[in-house]
Chains A and B, each alone.
Chain A
Amino acid sequence: MTKMSDRLKIVFMLCVAFVTTGGQHFESKVAQLLQDETEDIKCFVELKDLTCFWEEEEERNDLQYTFTYSYENKNKMACVVSSLSLLASNKTVFFCKLPKTPFFTTLDVQVFRDGRMLYSRSLNAENYLFLDPPRNLTVLSSGKEGQLNVSWLPPLLKYMDDSMIYEVRYAVEGSNMGKVEVIKVSTMLVLLGLQSDTRYKVWVRVKPDGVAYKGYWSAWTEPVLGVTQPSDLDPLIMVLVLFIGLILCLLSMTVILSHHKFLLKKLWPDIPTPEHKFPGLFTVYKGDFKEWMSQNNSSMWGRSVQVYTEELPSPLEVLSEVSLTSHGTSQREERKPVEEDEEKESERSDSGLTDRWREPPQAHWLMEQLRALQENPQSLSQSLLVQSHDTYVTLNQNSQGDGEREVDDVFEETLPLQTLFTTTGTTSLSTSHSDLGSLQQSSGSGRLSSQSSFEYPNQTWPPKGPGYTYMAVADSGVSMDYSPMSSSRITELGRHRMYTNDYKNEIFLHKWPLFGEHNKSGSESCMGPVW
């Protein structure tokens, strides 16, 4: 007897427990739909049974209501109405559970009160599934950092496992900011991108996917805690790594500082400048070479070899020599303005050829000299005065014979020709430089008229031919570039010493018939050698 009573009690307790659990779920669903659903008569399917309920404010007896339903043109069937008091909201609802709920067909439900129809609704039961939450939610730490393995079981429903969609919500414990992941069909998920060594709360809920079945979101499961793996980096290791890094930095800094000059030279090499060879050119004269030359002219001669090493030596050919009364002044003459020359011309003309070739001679004077040469070729000495009407070149004497000449072969070879020239009837060359650059001043006339005139005695050459020919050329090969109208190129250096000057020598044609054969209009070539 006692055993039987005990068994009955156990069964009763289980039934109560089952009912209460079911009731709790049921009650929570009813409460939720009361808030969310807008229809007067609210229906949902729980555990394959359709439940329709409605709210009533006034105190009513459930016996007053009549619930009928029909489908597929069948006769109406009645359903028993029950009442439920919601403890949370202190409301009363009346509901009816259809015993055999037909799915995939249109149901017509009606609620009557005291013979009058209160509510009516047509619905398909499969569209209002209200599932229970997923079961057995577990959260485990995966082997990797910042990850959690979440798994659960679907609610108990046959043939519906592949029609479910789940939502996983997770947040740091104590925080309200959560993230949501949606997953279809599968009942497990790996959460990524989590903080290491942190406690997380995880919830899951389920809903039909909406293709074959539709419904409401289930309630969230109870939260389950999971802890992510701590980070791999040990603090001690981090400290050691930092320490070693610091030491390496210090070492590299020391090396760099000790060899900074070398490294700087390698990385940022200095751009070579010729400043050391041109003292004051860039600092005082700001690159004005002419100015610099004029200032340093006298002092430069001693180092002219060094200065003009890059320049092409201008070959000269000595055409003839003219004997001079006095020697020792075979230096280059500085060019002077025409005005100054004219003043001294009278002196020149009297003395005849002098070795001071400063002033450019006049035409008639030169003519006289040439005639003198013609008549007395022997009078030619080593020195040769080659003077043109407008332009002439003062050449350094060679070392042959004359000691007072301070000519040396090196000098001869390396020094460029100095051109002293003025243009007739045009602007005179005001520069006093016998520099190559001074030729550009001749461009005022447009051409180097009578630029080049040279003595070319056609007959005799001094027996002691110095071995070179004097030649009055307006410019050297380099300087000719400055002149727009003329250009000369040193075609050949060395033995032949040929000069090619492409400029017109009109005056030559007019006034120097003697040289007609040599002076051609338009071009002039200075040929050598003499000996």
Chain B
Amino acid sequence: MQTFFGLVSVLIVFVWLGGKQVFPLQPICDLRVLDHFVREARDSVVIMRGSRGGCGAMKSYFVPLTSVDFAFWEHIDVQELAVEVQTGLSLLVQALSTAMKAVSNSRLANALDNNISNIHSLSQILHSLDLQHARSTVLPDDSAPASTQTQEVSSLPELLQVQSSFLRGKVRLLLSAAPACQRQNS
């Protein structure tokens, strides 16, 4: 009986700790990781140009907006940016998965699959930055309407271009401006 109660108490303690997130992830602030993903996204573009029928079927994909202007950079709202980045990454994953199924070239399909896994890794990196508010508000129909957050492209080359621009622009800016990384650098 006593052992039973002891075990139960230990279990309760663990559950409470898990909820409290006593062991946070170490923030991953090294931009070279992102640069690696950017290079692999560029490789997909090269493979696509070199393969026959690389364009695939003409489909419409909903992809995030990628534009960033430096005026915006001067007054960055990290939380808002985090929401944008998370939404955009999920949209990209959906679009890339759809395109991968339509592509016949195995090499290109492998490259697209690699891009998808890279985006998943990016999500983990952003999670390590402890952007609490971003997690809670990652909903497509929250805050801004989806149309203002997305754009439509009609071919795989455009999709890959959007992916490259998004990674180099908004995602990179968020990693540079994240408070956890700022604390590390300073």
Q: Enumerate chain A interface residues (CB-CB to B < 8 A).
A: 48, 71-73, 100-106, 124, 126, 158-159, 162, 211-213
Cα-based distance from A511 to B181 in the complex (angstroms): 125
Given A159-B176, A211-B35, A211-B39, does the pair A104, B168 have CB atoms closer than 8 Å? yes
B169, A159: Cβ atoms closer than 8 Å: no
Smallest CB–CB gap between B153 and chain A, Å? Answer: 10
B residues near A158, Cβ cutoff 8 Å: 70, 73-74
A72, B67: Cβ atoms closer than 8 Å: yes
Smallest CB–CB gap between B40 and chain A, Å? Answer: 11
Q: Which residue of A lies closest to B74 (CB)?
A: A158
A residues near B73, Cβ cutoff 8 Å: 158-159
A residues near B170, Cβ cutoff 8 Å: 104
Smallest CB–CB gap between B150 and chain A, Å? Answer: 10
Does B172 sit within 8 A of A, measured CB to CB? yes
How many A-B pairs have beta carbons closer than 8 Å: the answer is 58
Q: Which residue of B lies closest to A161 (CB)?
A: B176
B65, A72: Cβ atoms closer than 8 Å: yes
A residues near B13, Cβ cutoff 8 Å: none
Given A105-B67, A212-B172, does the pair A73, B38 have CB atoms closer than 8 Å? no
A102, B67: Cβ atoms closer than 8 Å: yes
A211, B38: Cβ atoms closer than 8 Å: yes
Can you spell out 29 A-B residue pairs with CB atoms less than 8 angstroms apart?
Answer: A72-B66, A72-B151, A73-B151, A73-B152, A100-B69, A100-B71, A101-B69, A101-B70, A103-B70, A103-B169, A104-B66, A104-B67, A104-B166, A104-B168, A104-B169, A105-B67, A105-B68, A106-B161, A106-B165, A126-B168, A126-B169, A158-B73, A158-B74, A159-B172, A159-B173, A162-B31, A211-B39, A211-B168, A212-B35
Cα-based distance from A104 to B151 in the complex (angstroms): 14
Q: Which residue of B lies closest to A45 (CB)?
A: B70
Cα-based distance from A104 to B39 in the complex (angstroms): 15
A102, B161: Cβ atoms closer than 8 Å: no
Does B78 sit within 8 A of A, measured CB to CB? no
Give chain B interface residues in 41-90, CB to chain A under 8 Å: 65-71, 73-74
Which 10 pairs of residues, A with B, have the shortest CB-CB distance? A104-B169, A48-B70, A105-B67, A102-B67, A104-B165, A212-B168, A211-B35, A159-B176, A104-B66, A100-B69
Q: Which residue of A lies closest to B165 (CB)?
A: A104
New A-B contacts (17) at CB < 8 Å, excluding given A104-B67, A104-B166, A104-B169: A100-B71, A101-B69, A102-B67, A103-B68, A103-B70, A104-B170, A105-B66, A105-B169, A124-B165, A126-B169, A158-B73, A159-B172, A159-B173, A211-B38, A211-B39, A212-B38, A212-B172
Tell me the interface secondary structure of chain A in the complex: loop
Cα-based distance from A73 to B177 in the complex (angstroms): 28
Q: Enumerate chain B interface residues (CB-CB to A < 8 A).
A: 31, 35, 38-39, 65-71, 73-74, 151-152, 161, 165-166, 168-170, 172-173, 176-177
Cα-based distance from A104 to B172 in the complex (angstroms): 11
Q: Which residue of B lies closest to A47 (CB)?
A: B70
Smallest CB–CB gap between B11 and chain A, Å? Answer: 46
Cα-based distance from A423 to B70 in the complex (angstroms): 126
Cα-based distance from A211 to B40 in the complex (angstroms): 11
Cα-based distance from A211 to B168 in the complex (angstroms): 8
A residues near B166, Cβ cutoff 8 Å: 104
Cα-based distance from A73 to B151 in the complex (angstroms): 8
B residues near A124, Cβ cutoff 8 Å: 165
Cα-based distance from A126 to B73 in the complex (angstroms): 14
A102, B69: Cβ atoms closer than 8 Å: yes
Cα-based distance from A103 to B70 in the complex (angstroms): 8
B67, A71: Cβ atoms closer than 8 Å: yes
Q: Which residue of B lies closest to A209 (CB)?
A: B35
B165, A105: Cβ atoms closer than 8 Å: yes
B residues near A72, Cβ cutoff 8 Å: 65-67, 151
B residues near A104, Cβ cutoff 8 Å: 66-68, 165-166, 168-170
Cα-based distance from A101 to B170 in the complex (angstroms): 15
B residues near A101, Cβ cutoff 8 Å: 69-70
Cα-based distance from A106 to B39 in the complex (angstroms): 19
